[in-house]
Chains A and B, each alone.
Chain A
């Protein structure tokens, strides 16, 4: 039967073999020790985390109890703020249409008259007015520019037979 040589050539000497085994053992022991240390550290951190959690729980309970005392204040304050928000949104331009009517009325000559003034929800305005003559009508239209309505379209212009009064229909957007 042929003899098989299992011993590597590099660890052939007895001294080298012993040193190699020794190093391996030390390394393994070190790894196990490190493992034990890390496990202990993790355990310690876990305990600390549990303490933090308990502290948070008791803190939360205490704050919720305090909050419950002021529940009524919170309800009133919340409702108040909501209603105030609605009030301000509505109040902001509650009389926009009426204000426009007032401004237009002030621009119209005393002898003039609004035949129709229609202000729709989308802000479109249809105005039909009557003046004594063309000059007054032109004066009113130029007055619209000073109110900030530069872009308006003239729908129709007519003159009444007999009286000579001028009727103009215009439309614009506010």
Chain B
């Protein structure tokens, strides 16, 4: 009887302790462990977000602060002349006609094709093909002049055909002229931005001097002088 009462008291003691342990284990497993895991992931998230401010936004603001808005606008205006926002087929036609006329060449056909997406860079391009006829030297001068006009033109295909007597030649050229609309919406704020390199600035400065010159407005075409070639080996 005495032993039975001891067992009862022992179970009572063990029961409380075991219950306390069970609560401790339960709280650890179902409350503390998820709490700690959640805290660690959120802590990493907050520190990553803070890092993105320090590594992306702050340098971006610093770069943008340094920019000279007037100079950038001038550069953009220059690039707008070279790579317009919209395809300007009449201007290209006028350039071809005027330059051919200035050199005493005759334009026999002039056509343009629909805008095509450029594969080289993210832009669209309008295709123009034409045929001019005249003397060999003048045709070469004309073709060389095409790379110096604005908007920029790139020869994609050319065929030179000689007349039966060999004095007159006809030149069929296909050209592409790229265009790209100015951005209407900006990218995400967390996207980094790069400032213009010194080399870029030098190029833009030269282009600005060339194409923002009032004498070189689109429509004006001055044929480039014939370069002195090397002596004929024959």
Interface of A is mostly: helix
B234 touches A67 (CB 8 A): no
1/0 per residue A110-128: CB within 8 Å of B?
1001111111110000000
A161 at the B interface (CB under 8 A)? no
User: A17-B6, A101-B140 given as contacts; is B155 within 8 A of A73 (CB)?
Assistant: no
Residue of A nearest to B200 (CB): A84
Please tell me the size bucket of the interface on A.
35 or more
Chain A residues near B234: list those with CB within 8 A: 109-110, 136, 139-140
Residues on the B chain within 8 Å of A25, using CB: 13, 16-17
B6 near A130 with CB under 8 A, answer: no
A96 at the interface (CB under 8 A from B): yes
User: What chain A residues lie within 8 Å of B232 (beta carbons)?
Assistant: 106, 109-110
Q: Size band of the B side of the interface?
A: 35 or more
- What distance in Å separates the Cβ of B67 from its nearest Cβ neighbour in chain A? 5
Give the CA-CA distance A64 to B53 in the complex, in Å: 10
Q: What string of 1s and 0s marks CB contacts (under 8 Å) between B120-161 and chain A?
A: 111100000000000010001001101100001111111111
Question: Is there an interface contact between B147 and A98, defined as CB atoms closer than 8 Å?
Answer: yes
Decide: B39 and A49 in contact? CB cutoff 8 A: yes
Contacts of B69 on A, CB cut-off 8 Å? Answer: 72-73, 76
User: CA separation between A118 and B160, bound complex, in Å?
Assistant: 6
Contact across chains for A87 and B50 when beta carbons are under 8 A apart: no
Contact partners of A173 in chain B: CB under 8 A: none
Kindly state whether residue A157 has any CB partner on chain B within 8 Å: no
Which of A53, A76, A140 has the largest number of chain B CB atoms within 10 A? Answer: A76
Q: Which residues from 64 to 86 on chain B have a C-beta closer than 8 Å to any C-beta of chain A?
A: 64-65, 67, 69, 72-73, 75-76, 79-80, 82-83
Interface flags, A89-101, vs B, CB<8A=1, else 0: 1110111111001
Given the known interface contacts A24-B17, A110-B232, A139-B233, the answer about A94 and B153 at a Cβ–Cβ threshold of 8 Å is yes
- Residues from 209 to 230 in B contacting A, C-beta threshold 8 Å: 229-230
B79–A98 CB distance below 8 A = no
A29, B20: Cα distance in complex, Å: 8
* Chain B residue at smallest Cβ distance from A131: B234
Other-chain contact of A80, B42, B75, B121 (Cβ < 8 Å) = B75
Contact between A6 and B20, CB atoms less than 8 A apart: no
Contact flag A70-B154 (CB < 8 Å), given A89-B120, A106-B232, A115-B162: no
Q: Does A59 contact B (CB under 8 A)?
A: yes
Considering only CB atoms, which chain B residue lies closest to A127 in the complex?
B160
Within 8 A of B (CB), among A54-81: 56, 59-60, 63-64, 66-67, 70-81
| B229 lies within 8 A of A106 (CB) | yes
B186 contacts A74, C-beta separation under 8 Å? yes
Residues of A within 8 A of B60 (CB): 67, 74
Looking at the complex, which one of B7, B17, B118 makes contact with A7 (CB distance below 8 Å)?
B7
Q: How far is it, in angstroms, between the C-alpha of A66 and the C-alpha of B229 when the chains are bound?
A: 57
Q: Does A105 contact B (CB under 8 A)?
A: yes
Q: B35 contacts which of A42, A84, A95, A119 (Cβ < 8 Å)?
A: A42
B109 interface residue (CB < 8 Å to A): no
Residues of B within 8 A of A (CB): 3-4, 6-7, 10, 13-14, 16-18, 20-21, 23-24, 27-28, 31-32, 35-36, 39, 42-43, 46-47, 49-50, 53, 57-58, 60-61, 64-65, 67, 69, 72-73, 75-76, 79-80, 82-83, 118, 120-123, 136, 140, 143-144, 146-147, 152-162, 166, 169, 174, 176, 178, 180, 182-183, 186-187, 189, 193-196, 200, 203-204, 229-230, 232-234
Extra inter-chain contacts (12) besides given A21-B14, A70-B65, A115-B162, CB under 8 Å: A7-B6, A27-B17, A42-B32, A42-B36, A80-B79, A80-B204, A83-B79, A94-B153, A107-B233, A117-B160, A118-B158, A121-B174
